[in-house]
Amino acid sequence: MTKPASPRRRNSYAAATLTGLLVVTGGVGASAAGSEVSANPPAQAGPDSTVSWAERTLRDMTLEQKVGQLFVADVWGQAPNEKHAGNQEKYGVDTPSDVVRKYQPGGVIYFNHGGTDNIERPKQVAKLSNGLQRAALATDSGVPLIVSVDQEGGRVTRVGEPATEQPSPMALGAGRDTEAAKATAAVTGSELRAMGINQDFAPVADVNSNPANPIIGSRSFSADPQLASDFVSAQVHGYQDSGSDTATVSSSAKHFPGHGDAATDSHTSLPTIDRTEQEWREIDLPPFKAAVDAGIDSIMTAHIRVPSLDPSGEPATLSKPIMTGLLREELGYDGVVVTDSLQMQGVREMHPDSEIPVLALEAGVDQMLMPPDLDVAVNGVLDAVNNGRITEERIDKSVLRILELKAERGIPEAPMVNVGAVDKKVGTPANRETVQAATDKAPTLLRNDDEVLPLTGQGKTLVTGWNNLDYPGYPARPVESLASKLGDSATALPTGAEPDEATIRRAVNAAGDADTVVVLTNGLSGDAAQRDLLHELLATDANVVAVSVQEPYDPGYVDVPTWLATYDWRDVSMTSLAQVLLGQQAPQGKLPVTIPAGDDPDTTRYPFGHGLTW
C-alpha cells in the first residue's frame, strides 16, 4: 500500500533569504584567526524561502549546469590548488579547484590516504573545503558544493586523529544506548561541519543478517531489524537535528534496499540477495523506514540484485521497481537518492559507463557518486536529454531536490568555515568524553569459564595477535595501543594478519614468560594462521584471553575459555577494553548479532543478547 510522503523538515537557518553569501577576506585563513566574515547578512524571510532559493537558482541554470549538479566528484590532493597527477589522469586538469570549475559538480567527496589523499589534519581539510567552495561560487552558476565523506565510525573512518574517532556502529549496538548513539553522531556532525564537510554518508541502515557478509559486518548496528532501526533513527537525529543549526550535517542512510545479506562484495561483483519479498520486508526494510520517518536528507543505493523485488536482474541502483516503486512511492520518500560509487563493479557488470547514469535517473535516482569517467557520464545524460529519452523536467526534479538539501543544511548561507576555530571544535575533551562514554558500553564478555578476568593481580601480560599496518588509510595498531593501556606489566608482540610459523613461534616463546596472554583476532573465518596462533597459545601454561576486535564472529571458530568482543580496534575501543580487562569497569555489552559455530552455520554458539558481567 502506498503511504503518504513524510514532510521534509526545514532548519531555522534555512528560512533566511539567501541573498548574501559569505565572502572571504584576504583568502582562506588570511586573517590572524583565519576567520570568514559575512559581507551581507541575509534578511529574515517567510517559511517558503528555502524552496524559493532552490527554485530561483534552478530557473537560472543552463542544462549543462543542471547536469553537473547530478554528480559528486572525487578529487585528488590536500589543497584546493595543489597539482596532482590523479586529477590530470581522470579529469584532464591539475587541481581540485580546476575539477570544480570545469564540471561544476553538485558535490565532492573526500578520502584519506587509502584513496584520493584529501585528508591530513582537520585545519587542512577546512582550508581545502573553503577553497573548493570558493571555486564553486566563482562559476557561472555560483552554487556551493555538498562536501561529503564516509565517516561511519570504526573501520570506515576517513578523518582520524586528532578528530574524535568513533567506535563501529556495531559497538554502539552492543551498548544498547540509543541516546549515546545520538550523542556520538552529534559529535561527528559538529566536527565535520567545522572542517567544511556538510554531508556524512552515514548511518549504515543495513541489517547484517549474514555472518559471512564480506563488506558490511560491524558497519551495521545489528542483525536485529528493530535494534538496527532504533539506532539508525537515533543517529539521523544526532547528525541532522542536535546542537546549533550550523553544527548539523546532512546524513545518508545506506545501502537501500539492504546490503546485509550479501555473500559477496559489490566493489568487485554484483551480489544477489535471495530473500523473499516478505523476508525483505521483515528484515531489511525497517531501518530504512525508520530513516525516512526520522527525516533523513538522503538515501544511498546498493549495487545488489534482489530478484524478489525486481526480477529483471538489474542492480537495485538501476531498478525502477525498487527506487521508485518501493522507495519513492511506498515509503513516500521525496529526498535525495544518491548512488553508491559508480566505480564499483557491482553496477558496471551489465551496462557501459555512459548508460549507467541515464538508467539511474530513469529508476528514480537523483545524484551519481564518483563516476569512473565524468565526461562520459555527463555526456551520457546530456545525450539522453537531447534525443528525448529523458526530459529536462526530469532533470529539474532531481536538481531541485539537491538544491533543497543544500538550502536545508544552510550551505548557500554559510558555505565557508572559520579555519581559525577548527582546533577549538574538533577533537575537544568534551567530544572525546562523550564518545568514550558510549564506547565503554560496548565490550562484550562471551566466556569467562576459568574466571581469569578481571586481570587484577595476575602478574605479567603479553598482548599479541592481529595488527595491520597496511589498513587502508590508517595503520591498525591495537596490540601496542592495548598493551600501553594495561600498564608496565604488559608487553606487546603483534603478529599481524596471517602470521607465519616463525612469528607464531616467537609469540609462543614470549608466552612462556607471561601469566596471561591477550590475543587480538580479526577474521578467523578466512585466516587459518590466526587460528593456529590461538591453538598454539592455548597449549602453553599461560591464561589465554581472546578478543575479537572487528567482526564479532571469530569466537565461533576457536574454543577459548575466555572470549570478548569489542567490534572495533581503534584506540577508543582499546581504552574501553583495557578498563574491562583490569576490572576498572564491568563489561556491559550484549551481542547485537548471533554468533554461529564456524563449522556449522546453523548451530548457534552465542545467541543474540548474550553478554556476561561481574
> Which active-site residues does the annotation give?
267, 340
444-474 burial: b if 16+ Cβ within 10 Å, else e: bbbbbeeebbbbeebeebbbbbbbbeeeebb
Alpha-carbon span 419 to 217, nearest angstrom: 36
405, 146 in Cβ contact below 8 A? yes
Burial tier of 245 (Cβ tally within 10 Å: 0-12, 13-18, 19+)? middle
Is 587 buried (19+), middle (13-18) or exposed (0-12) by CB count in 10 A? buried
Q: What is the 3-state secondary structure (H, E, C) of 110-128?
A: ECCCCCCCCCCCHHHHHHH
- 195-215: burial string, b at 16+ Cβ within 10 Å, e else: bbbbbbbbbbbbbbbbbebbb
Whether the Cβ atoms of residue 310 and residue 322 lie closer than 8 Å to each other: yes
Rounded to whole angstroms, the Cα distance separating 122 from 191 reads 9
What does the DSSP assignment read for 465-480? Answer: E--BTTSTTS-B-HHH
Separation CA 334–CA 357 (nearest Å): 19
The conformation of residue 69, written as its DSSP 8-state character, comes to H
